[in-house]
Amino acid sequence: MNQTLLERIIRAMEAAARGILTASGYNTDMGLNVQVAREDLAETDLPGLVLWVGKEDPAPTYGAGFLSVSVTVLGLMLHGAEVPGYLVPAMLADLKEALCAPVLSLPFSGGAVPVSVGDTLAGATSGAGGYVGGVTIASGSWAGGDAAGVFTLRRLTGSGLFLSGENLLVSGSPVAQAAGAGTPQTPEARVAAGLAKSIQYTGGGADEYPAAGRKITGVSAAFTVLYRHRPGDSYNL
How do residues 37-62 score in pLDDT, each as one tens digit? 876 778 888 899 999 999 988 887 76
- In this structure, the answer to whether residues 79 and 107 fall within a common structural domain is no
On whether residue 147 sits in a domain, the answer given is yes
- In this structure, the answer to whether residues 128 and 160 fall within a common structural domain is yes
- In this structure, the answer to whether residues 83 and 125 fall within a common structural domain is no
On whether residue 154 sits in a domain, the answer given is yes
DSSP 133-170: EEEEEEES-TTTT-EEEEEEEEEEETTS-PPTT-EEEE
Q: Beta partners for 51?
A: 36, 73
Q: Is the pLDDT of residue 211 over 60?
A: no
Report the SS3 class of residue 5.
helix
On whether residue 87 sits in a domain, the answer given is yes
Q: Which pTM was predicted?
A: 0.90
Give me the domain span that covers residue 108. 103-185
Mean pLDDT, residues 98-123 taken together:
97
On whether residue 237 sits in a domain, the answer given is no
- In this structure, the answer to whether residues 82 and 136 fall within a common structural domain is no
CATH number at residue 73: 3.30.70.1700
How do residues 121-166 score in pLDDT, each as one tens digit? 999 999 999 999 999 999 999 999 999 999 999 999 998 899 999 9
On whether residue 97 sits in a domain, the answer given is yes
- In this structure, the answer to whether residues 37 and 117 fall within a common structural domain is no
Q: Beta partners for 219?
A: 75, 206
> How many domains in the chain?
2
- In this structure, the answer to whether residues 130 and 114 fall within a common structural domain is yes
Pairing of strands 34-36, 48-58: parallel
Pairing of strands 167-170, 173-178: antiparallel
